[in-house]
């Protein structure tokens, strides 16, 4: 992910296991930080085992990394590039988003049916919310009132009213992966990945207020990462099994361009 000021790129690195080398069994993952203007590596920060997603707080103070195999999240202080806190989560923490006020992180626990709500002022898990089977990642409205969660095993998007905890589910495509909440809080875009053997190839566009799918947009195979452009015109999605990125026109609800990229494109972020 790119930091809110556009100056830093954060990425997670999972070490490759070297067979026959016992030392490698305890190789921790890394968070890498790059200067987006010079492409230089600023810092490598050791985190936990199998780091998944990295997200910056809107105020630029912290970067959080979910450690999928350790069932916790590392909080990195961006002033010192050091881990200042490790907060326990549910089982198999994966994708997440942070509220616009930088106070809460909503972490999807893939190994169970919950979302961990992390309070970034107390640095503790405030509560766990049951949402549905195999949550992959989350999205949060700018007012902090509505949470969306992709439920991979249910082929659905959970829409959660954070005031009363009510969960409503909207059917989407096969094997949804990431979701991205538009900044005007009207639409959520869900990338339907499917599996490698049976890849899905679409994005579901959901109206959060009516809780209905308003469009299903054909993309490439294994659609995974999704993000919208700051100018509200485009949606960009990665297609893992086609090695492409689809550019979607939001007005037309269709792909207007396909860009070849490297192997197995996964996460995606837009420079502000």
22 phi, psi to nearest 5 deg: -60, -30
Q: Output the pLDDT for position 25.
A: 56
Burial label for 209, CB within 10 Å (0-12, 13-18, 19+), is: exposed
> Under 8 Å CB-to-CB from 173, ≥6 apart: which residues?
155, 190, 192, 194, 200, 202, 204, 216
Q: Output the pLDDT for position 214.
A: 97
Q: Is the dihedral of CA 234, 237, 242, 244 positive or negative?
A: positive
Give the pLDDT band of residue 18 (cuts 50, 70, 90). low
Q: What is the pLDDT of residues 27-86, one digit of tens each?
A: 789 999 999 999 999 999 999 999 999 999 999 999 999 999 999 999 999 999 999 999
Q: Which of 83, 120, 77, 82 is nearest to 98 (CA)?
A: 120
Write down the pTM of the prediction.
Answer: 0.94
């Amino acid at each position: 992910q790119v930091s809110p000021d556009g100056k830093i790129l954060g990425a997670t690195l999972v070490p490759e296991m070297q067979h026959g080398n016992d030392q490698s069994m305890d190789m921790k993952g890394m968070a890498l930080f790059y200067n987006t203007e010079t492409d230089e590596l600023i810092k490598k920060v050791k985190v936990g085992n199998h780091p998944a997603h990295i997200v910056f707080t809107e105020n630029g103070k912290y970067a959080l990394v979910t450690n999928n195999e350790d069932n916790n999240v590392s909080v990195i202080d961006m002033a010192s590039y050091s881990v200042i806190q490790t907060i326990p989560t549910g089982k198999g923490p994966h994708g997440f988003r942070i509220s616009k006020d930088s106070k809460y992180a909503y972490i999807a626990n893939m190994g169970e049916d919950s979302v961990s709500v992390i309070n970034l002022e107390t640095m503790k898990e405030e509560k766990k919310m049951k949402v549905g089977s195999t949550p992959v990642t989350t999205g949060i409205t700018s007012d902090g009132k509505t949470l969306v969660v992709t439920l991979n095993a249910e082929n659905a998007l959970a829409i959660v009213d954070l005031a009363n905890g009510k969960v409503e589910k909207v059917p989407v495509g096969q094997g949804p992966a990431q979701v991205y909440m538009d900044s005007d809080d009207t639409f959520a875009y869900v990338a339907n990945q499917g599996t490698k053997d049976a890849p899905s190839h679409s994005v579901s566009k959901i109206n959060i207020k009516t809780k209905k799918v308003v469009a299903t947009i054909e993309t490439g195979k294994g659609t995974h990462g999704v993000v919208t452009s700051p100018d509200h015109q485009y949606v960009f999605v990665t297609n893992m099994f086609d090695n492409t990125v689809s550019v979607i026109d939001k007005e037309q609800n269709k792909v207007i361009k396909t860009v070849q990229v490297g192997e197995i494109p996964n996460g995606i972020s837009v420079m502000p």
